[in-house]
Structure 1
Amino acid sequence: MDMDGDWPLPRPTTRFKIGRKRSAGSLTKTSSIASTFSSLAAPVVAEAVQQARALSVESRPEGFHQLRIAFRKLRALYWAYSPYLGEATSAPAIEEFKRLAAVAGGTRDWDIAGGLLNDALESGASIETLVAAAREKRAEAVVHSQTMIQSDAVEAFLNDVLLRAQTTLESSCGELPVRAFARKRLRLAQRTLRKRSRRAARHEIAHEEALHDVRKAGKKLRYLLEFFQPVVKGGHDRTIKALTAVQNKLGQFNDIAASETLIRSTSFDAVPAAVVEESLRWLEGQKCRRMRAASRRVRALSE
């Protein structure tokens, strides 16, 4: 992934009202596709801008986490509306949301890895030098994230892409009602999750890549259910709750797998190789246990 890729950031003369949080509760089955997009996007964008501003002066772990979630939600929303947005409008925006989420995630990944290494240390592993090195890597990641995520540039970018999207939707789908459209996109997201769950469930212990695919599909469906709940028939609270439970298990596994990959791919000049290997053995043991738990959840989901 090109972490230094740029998005053109002109400041348009007409601004999308990102500072005004719209209520999803005001959405109805007769709301138009175009107006629903702006109502759903505005609060997520406001959250992203708020977190980006806060992270320019501080480095709270939860702040990086919430910023990454905001960009992931925007990716899901753009995917949902992509049939009317078109490839030229949706694809570049989705790629930039992905890049910004990855930049924010660089610090978050070291927060998670550091927490796991502390757990290993408390369980008796002799990895003090690696724990200290991980803190240094986290500090470097903070500087990189703050350099790459300038709040003014993020706000300008979001203002630009959302204004483009709103303009495109108003011209491509006008006043078409949102309910049938929302149902169709939800069905597609559900089919994708079902297909990936069944593929992962073919094995007693699912492959890492298969579990990762289920996690991404489940996350997208959950975000879309949360977005579209006011305009589709029937409550989806139970489905969202079930998806959240599965995501928690998959997330615990992913934290281990991602931390293992991060430590394997990082050069620690002052840490003996034997110390790194000891941490990886501990992570491997934890990963096997969490993989089994995640596989059980996925099998239940596929049924």
Structure 2
Amino acid sequence: MKRDSGKMDKRSAASDPASDAPSAQAAFASYAAPLVDHAIELAHAVREDTSPEALHKLRVSLRRLRSLWWAFEPLLEKGENTRQRALYKYLATAAGQTRDWDILIELLAHEDSGASGMAPKLQDARGGALAISRETLLNADVKHLLREALTDTSKELNTAHERVPLRKFATRRVDASERSLKKRMKHAGRAKRSNYAAFHDVRKAGKKLRYLLDFFEPVLNDNRKRTIKRLKQIQKRFGALNDVVASEGLLRDHAASLAGSADTEAALHWLKQERKRRMRCAAGLLRKQ
């Protein structure tokens, strides 16, 4: 594929010699267009490539689009922006259904999980989820939906009377996102270990800030390398926790269809213990921040 994040276009837009102070409105398309193109490529590829990695890449691409529209939310009509972000969430969820089974299968492949006998039924469930994911994405006409979203949002921004300098706008949005992350980390640090929602909020806030830095770092005045390093740690630790929590929920939700597998209870017990372990690891990281 030609590009996976649009960074080349983004840097060129941010350093355009023809404009000392490009506006956020004018720069939007240089961020959004490469992401839209990449998501369309991935959606098309998933029709042929059923691997876990292909679906994961598509889900990440759609999440990046959702984060970009969130970043430009202050410049957009609220209702339309909410609709567009809901669209990206819907498509990402469709792609993620199969990915969730892949994560569960990978976790239970651990030799201590006691779930070796579940493999055939888990693969069957994964196959069913894949069929639904592909049908949903095909029927959604992803190419048309994403092109339309890009056109409509670009038009709204380009016809706005007010212009906000890109650097000022980017700094303001990144700072707001960083404050949100710190607030959620503080709350999670005081929460009980059983309060997974507080930990999940940290993960979501960290992911959003990471995406915004991916978009805007080249135009920011200050160096955010330390922040990015911290975010990578959060994503890794809290992502590992989320994998177990989501897998435990998925297995419980489909326990009936897995009836007859003697390993179901053993798998749930192992996931519960693993969740507790990863919760301790996540809490430990919070204390170091």
TM-score by structure 2 length?
0.91
Whether contact under 8 Å (2:58, 2:95) holds in the other structure is yes
- Hey, what's the Cα distance between the residues in 2 that align with 1:253 and 1:281? 16
Match of 2:78 in 1: 87
**Residue by residue, what CA displacement relative to the aligned partner does 1:43-100 show, whole Å, maximum 9, x if unpaired?**
2112211111110112111111111111111111111111111112201000010111
Q: Work out whether residues 113 and 267 of structure 2, in 8 Å CA contact, stay in contact via their aligned partners in 1.
A: no
- Partners of 2:276 and 2:52 in 1: CA distance: 26
1:38 aligns with 2:29: yes
RMSD value over aligned CA atoms?
2.2
1:95 maps to a residue whose letter is: A
* Residue in structure 2 matching 1:24, options 2, 7, 10: 10
Q: Who is 1:220 aligned against? A: 208
The Cα shift of 1:245 comes to: 1.2
Give the 5 Å matches for 1:111-190.
Answer: 111-119=102-110, 122-123=111-112, 125=114, 127-150=115-138, 153-172=141-160, 175-190=163-178
Provide the rounded CA distance (Å) in 2 between the counterparts of 1:270 and 1:138. Answer: 12
User: Are the counterparts in 2 of residues 204 and 295 from structure 1 also a CA contact under 8 Å?
Assistant: no
- 1:129 and 1:271 in contact (8 A); partners too: no
Deviations 1:136-160 (A, max 9, x none): 1111111111101128810110000
Aligned to 2:240: 252
Decide whether the 8 Å contact of 2:52 with 2:102 is kept in 1: yes
State which drifts further: 200-209 or 285-294: 200-209
Contact 1:196 1:214 in 2 (8 A): yes
Cα distance change on mapping 1:270 and 1:164 into 2, 3 Å: closer
Distance 2:171 2:107 in 1: 40
Equivalents in 2 of 1:152, 1:99: separation in Å? 10
2:222 pairs, out of 203, 226, 234, with 234
DSSP-derived class of the 1:172 partner? coil
The secondary structure found in structure 2 opposite 1:229 is helix
Structure 1: tracts of 5 or more residues without a match: 1-17
Q: Among 93, 96, 108, which residue is 1:102 paired with?
A: 93
One-letter amino acid of the counterpart of residue 81, structure 1 = F
Deviation at 1:173, TM superposition (A): 5.1
Partner of 1:284: 272
Q: Between the two proteins, what is the percent identity of the paired residues? A: 36
Note closer, same or farther for the CA distance 1:216–1:173 as it changes in structure 2 (3 Å cut).
farther
Question: What is the TM-score when the length of structure 1 is the normalising length?
Answer: 0.87
Instruction: Judge conservation of contact 2:118–2:261 (CA < 8 Å) in 1.
Output: no
In structure 1, the partner of 2:190 is 202
| Structure 2: runs of 5+ lacking an equivalent | none
Amino acid at match of 1:39: S
8 Å CA contact 2:167–2:220 kept in 1: the answer is yes
| In structure 1, distance between residues paired with 2:103 and 2:127 | 13
- In structure 2, the CA distance between the partners of 1:160 and 1:274, relative to structure 1 (3 Å rule), is same
Distance 1:300 1:278, change over 3 A: same
